[in-house]
Chain A
Amino acid sequence: MPMTGRMKTLAATAVMAMALGLGPAMQGAAAETVLRVKLDGELKEIDPIWTSNYTVRDHAYMIYDTLFAMDDKYNVQPQMVDKYAVSEDGKTYTLTLRDGLKWHDGTPVTAKDCIASLKRWGKRDGLGQQMMARLDKFEQVDDRTFRIVMKENWSLVLPALGKISSTVPFMMPERLANTDAFDQVKEPIGSGPFKMKIDEWVPGSKIVYVKNQDYVPRKEPPSNAAGGKIAKVDRIEWLVMPDPVTAVNALANGEIDYLATVPPDLTGLVAKNKNVKLQVVNLLGKQVQVVPNHLNPPFDNVKIRQALQLALKQEDYMQAMFGKQTEFYQVCGAVFFCGTKFETEIGTERVLKQDFAAAKALLKEAGYDGTPIVMLHATDLPEQNLWGQVGAESLRKAGFVVNDVTSDWATVASRRASKKPIAEGGWHLFHTGWAGPDMLDPAVNVLVSGGCVEKAWFGWPCDAELERLRAAFASTSDAAEQKKIADQVQARAHEIVTFVPMGQFRQLTGYRSNVSGVLTAPVPFMWNIAKN
């Protein structure tokens, strides 16, 4: 039977009513946005105070927050702190937390929590230990306010609290922060923009985070680790993919949205893919270092260590990694990284110029007797493997006898802790790679420590002048004075050869074209990233 005009009107009205009625329901059932990411490393631990591992640091930035943070100029800005004051004598810091901060379990963030967190952090982090050694006391003023009272005017309090890289002073509830610093916390409870779904964690395979609906971001735009941390996706799935080819193919195929590092030899797989963007987001990058052991002959002789500087060439290392892609690396002799406020070329003459003849002359002058140099060489990490091969070859050409001891990283990490002579399992040198934020100044850069076997990092340089300069750096807040001291630190570090810098490099990050808001930063921050 044909529809009458009245029936048509009724039908149209019914359809409209249904649409209006369904509308809100459809909005409520809108699909959650899921960002699938592949970051560097595999998350095996979840406590960023217990370990300094960079992968754990990256995880921790998702779920924890910090009192202060560094912006893109590496200036310290308040983060969880609303306002702060420093006394005239520079010894007392009064910090007041922002309103509305909550832990993921719903309880409010209090001053007591922050004090406990700082105490725990201060037991594990190098800069934190220096701060605690100078600390007089913590004082709680009220629920949101506390004081840090120092014994002396130490200019690094705020830089320590705003430290961007391991070990970052992340804040935790007091009940968790009271965990012994050498035991892991049992629950990943923070106050950050995302929450970890521990029930969906498959160690070594997948980690899941969901948006923290209670997070109160700052109003400023995001800038490095500082500013507003707005979670723009509902869920993040961090997939572990040990094979880099698989990871790049997965990005090309749209099976993941973000890949933190696209290896230089695989960029061709996605360079012409219209759905993939490639960008250098970590502008500071990393540096390769060769670390000699000052305890074991012949490297207890400064001339032999200086011959080491002359034997090695940064371009060799960088070309082994990047081939003809020179845009991803730079030759840089600065111990505090190039492109930073403490960059200088002071003392870099031997570091930037390979000279086998001069190296051999120094070896002869020092009386090098052909003792085999035990070089620890990790072959299970691709970059380490390359560095070891390049280094061994160059040292041999310079006249060193090299015992290239290949093994996995776990063996290297174990053996480099040995202070024993070579005959009892000691070593002469190894390669390492540190990220920019960990090397920015004399306070955070452990590779310029002259603290001897008691306090220095592996290699154990022992130099009173270096320690005097580092202490002087920490006791002044004058920028010009700090720069002058940093220059002196570099000169001294290169003179006694605490380590040899072997080039600075950056790598590409890849993400799908429907992803936006990726921040330029030395750490892969997941806030501000949206997915259409």
Chain B
Amino acid sequence: MANNSVASPEVQKAPTGVPGLDDITHGGLPKGRPTLVSGGPGSGKTLLGVSFLVNGAQQFDEPGVLLSFEENADELAEDVRSLGYDLHKLVEQKKLLVDYVHVDRSEIEETGEYDLEGLFVRLGHAIDEIGAKRVMLDTIETLFGGLADSGILRAELRRLFRWLRDRKITAIVTAERGEQTFTRQGLEEYITDAVIALDHRVHEQISTRRIRVVKYRGSTHGTNEYPFLIDRDGITVLPVTSMLLEHEAPSERVSSGLPALDEMLGGKGFYRASTVLLSGTAGTGKTTLSAHFVNAACARGERCLYFLFEESPQQMVRNMKSAGVDVQRWVEKGLLQFHADRPSRFGLESHLLQMHQAVEVFDPDVVVMDPITNLMAVGTHTDVRAMLTRVIDFLKTRGITALFTSLTSSTQSLEHTESMISSLMDTWILVAVAEKERQRGRLIYVLKSRGMPHSDEVRSFRFTDRGIELLPAAGTRAPAGTAKPRRGARRKS
């Protein structure tokens, strides 16, 4: 495995055009070489291969041949129509050639020596006919069911993969996953350039697809399992920018929705495309603050996607209305959309996929997740953190400003509860209730805000009939155990 970690400039890549896959493979599949794609039934092997061919033909000027051992051209075309692929059209344009190889053992008698030269001739002819640069063999292991002499088959498959390499064809060879091996017939012995494993798990009625680059000779690659989804836009591997930290960092600022809070944030509010964590115990006004933020964004004509993990949209809208913040009008104008789901209904990966899809569809400028702490019940802290990292990565790539609320348990210190996610956040705002002289006061302060001078003041706020109002600074101190008191504004880098 040591060679996997060494990047070699000689390995040329053929991009698959599948969003995310070219990121985790650092550019695509090994050009001019075969890649093994293994997975169980229904894991998406064929769709991945077809995407590779279709994208090759449409985006990279590389025509492709699909040698199908399981489905004929019409069946295949029907299967991938829902992904938006028109195979018949590509065939007409001579950018794709589908050859259905049908083997029926019952009509074949074997006697004496033979080889698979017929397959070579057919494939070679198909490649020459359209000048193919890409080939998909789906699923060549089917031959083992059709021909009795597995010794001949093995020797011929070895010859076939060498032949593909000699012709500098970039190929995807699909195979059914075996009990202990990546393929039932041990094809991984013959294809050592790259191996990709697909997996489709259903756990507690939650279905998740995952992809993993098991091996990639001469190239670095992401080694994790990445979730992927198949929808009408084809295959998308998440996260789309897993390996990169190349987000643009806009210097533009957006209002928090409260001028006084903007004042505490260097006078201008949040950075666009930054992440904001808003944490506090129950009933401290997190959702109301979020509503102010949404309100301001929609008033600027921006689109907001609001994920609710605790309340229904109707509840939220009603509560905000009684708190003096009318968000219903933005829903009616189509600027605000809610997505409510009980976290326990899905696994983390499914949540990730759904958020991803919702964001793709609605194309928001602002996203709120309220409260993300409810997601923690679904997975371990490490999993939640990994998921949030992906979400944030994805949102930042799209230039979306994101606000996450976090419900803090009153028995734990804030820092402890959120230490695992706070590092992902650019700005961290705390809200708290403090008992003072028999009066419950509400406090807000900015614990951190990267890249801007921010106030270290602890400000009181109250609910009015027009939402939250910050009271004039009065030198209030932070409640014990929440943060070290600091004085004056200082610049943080």
The reply to whether chain A is a binding partner of chain B is no
